[in-house]
Structure 1
Amino acid sequence: MRPRPCLLLLWLLLVSTTAARAQSSERVSRRGTLLVAGQPEAPPVLYVAAGTVTRVRFADLLEPRARPGPELQGRVEVAPLGEGSLVVSPLRDLAPGERLLLPVTGRTKAGESLTLTLALVTREDAVDAEAWVSRVLLQQVDAADANELGAVASRLLASHGPGAPPPRLALDIPDREQVTTYVGGIRASAVSVLQMDGLLFVTVLIQANWFHSTPWRLIRARLEAGCRQESREKARDKSLPPRIASGASGQYQLHAFIAPLPEGAHCFSLTLEEDGPRTLRLEGLKVSP
């Protein structure tokens, strides 16, 4: 399927009405969702819907080009938009439970060719107006790696150079019981919330019960500014496009989410989804004003 130039015009016409259409169909229009790529057995899932043009931005893939198979012919329009993104628009909603795979090829910053696969699905409650795709591979970690935290902090401080003002730092170690959630044999806790200049770092520890749960595979994450007590209207469109770094050891996973920190924001929530029914939501994550 060759990209059609008219799709770019279609995107410009529809992007201004995406939220209104999503509301009228009772779908929540989402921006800033992180799709976690790099796990062949669990490709990242993109929520698409007829009447909505979804922009997919790639954090680790330059010049992405779609390679749709014959099952997508006449069903989904795809076109490049700039150096690092695509626009995707289905001609009609996918059937409940249906999933279409969309391979995307490009190159890394090092010039190596790379192919990522997105799974397209339609949901009744949500659609991605804009999503980010970040490639991550879980690396093995052990207790000795904890010594690296001090080295990392020292490098961050030294990176400002002699004579430069030190970075603005604020670190919160949450009460584990206040920021812990359980679902389907999975326990997730916010380990730390760090603010450094204009960046936010949220570290989450996920533990699986080997005897009563299937492995957790993170495929979607959503970091939002705003506390639980804020109204739904005020919290809308405050999602932050994060990056992710991950490590794993046995039944433990450690994920660090990095995102730009909006001015005046001091409270956050983080939603983690797997390729299945389990969803983890951590609320009340705060940094010092």
Structure 2
Amino acid sequence: MGLPYPARLPCESHVRPGSWLLVLSLLLSAPAAAQVRLDSPWIRRRMLVVPIHPEQVPPLELQVRAGVASLLLFEAPLKRGAVTLPADEKRLQLVPMDDGSLIIVPITDLSEGEQVPLTVETGPGAEPLRFALFTRPDAVDLQVRVVKNQPSVDESTVSALARSLLATADGRATLAVPQQTVDLETRASRGEAESVLWVERRFFATVAMRSRKKGSSPWRLVQARLRATLADGVLLEWPAHLFSGEAGPVRQRHILSGVLPEGASLLDLALDGEDSPGAFQPLPLEEVRTHP
């Protein structure tokens, strides 16, 4: 997949002044205790690359907080009625903008563990984007740019190498990197990132899913998400290429591939089930670069 990230994100100056007056009035109506400093370390700027089939994977997560206006930036203007919340949802104010952006202003925080679905129609022939809004104590999204998935110019080569790795015993005979393990657990299965092969900036990670219960099949992996911290502090999140081997009675192996963005300092991996998004865990970065 090509990574369509720019040198910087668009700023709030694209928003019409009149609409910002509405946003400010909403913020001023929030409880004073909910107001936060915008220079807090947990204020995040993100770029989300949408999945190829959004309806087949968990919704994109957005973290919101009372007193903070979260700005979503889309690549094209949104039509009237393109953004929908549950009919009885009154805690979230939505302000669509003419330039394709959307401002989300929570009047109160969402309850712990609660998620609110948000659906966005982005254009004719495109599958609706599904978001899940959360309130968590550790982060809030101030600016999120949503971009389309761009095909990779070397997809056939990537596919051939990934299939070759899947056909290799334990997926490690051709890997130049010692085994690295990351626990990615669910109730019934355990996922491990066993090893990573780097080819310049592209990597191939071998992931094994194992059943924890005798007689039950391994957890079904539907998506692998990657996250990198760019040089300007923006968190870039995008779906990895996913190549799955044959499922055995208790184990299934997958090869995940992606390209590390220029200037990225961290690389994380999350494994998603159909209705259960995984938590991000670090993949080896500095360690693997020391190996040939």
Above 0.5 in TM-score?
yes
Higher share in strand: 1
Match of 2:60 in 1: 44
Q: Residues 67 and 281 of structure 1: is their aligned pair in 2 closer, same or farther, counting only changes over 3 Å?
A: same
Say if 1:34 and 1:132, in contact at 8 Å, map to a contact too.
Answer: yes
1:97 to 96, 103, 113: 113
Match of 1:238 in 2: 233
RMSD, aligned CA: 4.2
Match of 1:222 in 2: 227
Is 1:116 aligned to 2:129, yes or no?
yes
* CA distance in structure 2 between the aligned counterparts of 1:193 and 1:238, rounded to whole angstroms: 25
Match of 2:243 in 1: 248
Q: Residues 62 and 182 of structure 1: is their aligned pair in 2 closer, same or farther, counting only changes over 3 Å?
A: same
* CA distance in structure 2 between the aligned counterparts of 1:219 and 1:149, rounded to whole angstroms: 17
Say if 1:33 and 1:222, in contact at 8 Å, map to a contact too.
Answer: no
Q: Residues 202 and 147 of structure 1: is their aligned pair in 2 closer, same or farther, counting only changes over 3 Å?
A: closer
Match of 1:161 in 2: none
* CA displacement at 1:103 relative to structure 2: 0.9
* CA displacement at 1:66 relative to structure 2: 1.1
* CA distance in structure 2 between the aligned counterparts of 1:204 and 1:72, rounded to whole angstroms: 41
May I ask how many residue pairs the two structures share in their alignment? 228
* CA distance in structure 2 between the aligned counterparts of 1:19 and 1:239, rounded to whole angstroms: 20
Match of 2:3 in 1: none
Match of 2:177 in 1: 175
* CA distance in structure 1 between the aligned counterparts of 2:127 and 2:63, rounded to whole angstroms: 23
Say if 2:207 and 2:254, in contact at 8 Å, map to a contact too.
Answer: yes
* CA displacement at 1:118 relative to structure 2: 0.7
Instruction: Write the mapping of 1:1-289 to structure 2, written as runs, cut at 5 A.
Output: 6-9=18-21, 20-21=37-38, 23=40, 28-32=42-46, 34=48, 37=51, 38-40=54-56, 42-58=58-74, 62-64=76-78, 65-80=82-97, 82-83=99-100, 85-107=101-123, 111-133=124-146, 145-146=159-160, 175-178=177-180, 180-184=181-185, 185-188=190-193, 189-192=195-198, 194-195=200-201, 201-211=202-212, 214-218=219-223, 221-225=226-230, 238-249=233-244, 250=246, 251-258=252-259, 260-262=261-263, 267-272=265-270, 274=272, 275=276, 278-285=279-286
* CA displacement at 1:222 relative to structure 2: 2.3
Normalising by structure 1, report the TM-score.
0.60
* CA distance in structure 1 between the aligned counterparts of 2:103 and 2:159, rounded to whole angstroms: 40
* CA displacement at 1:186 relative to structure 2: 0.7
Say if 1:224 and 1:270, in contact at 8 Å, map to a contact too.
Answer: no
* CA displacement at 1:79 relative to structure 2: 1.8
**Which range moves more in the overlay, 86-95 or 248-257?**
248-257
Structure 2 counterpart SS, 1:125: coil
* CA displacement at 1:5 relative to structure 2: 7.4
Normalising by structure 2, report the TM-score.
0.60
**Structure 2: unaligned runs, 5 residues or longer:** 1-15, 28-34, 150-154, 165-174, 247-251
Structure 2 counterpart SS, 1:247: strand
* CA distance in structure 2 between the aligned counterparts of 1:51 and 1:106, rounded to whole angstroms: 27
The residue identity in structure 2 corresponding to 1:269 is L
Say if 2:110 and 2:135, in contact at 8 Å, map to a contact too.
Answer: yes
- % same residue: 23
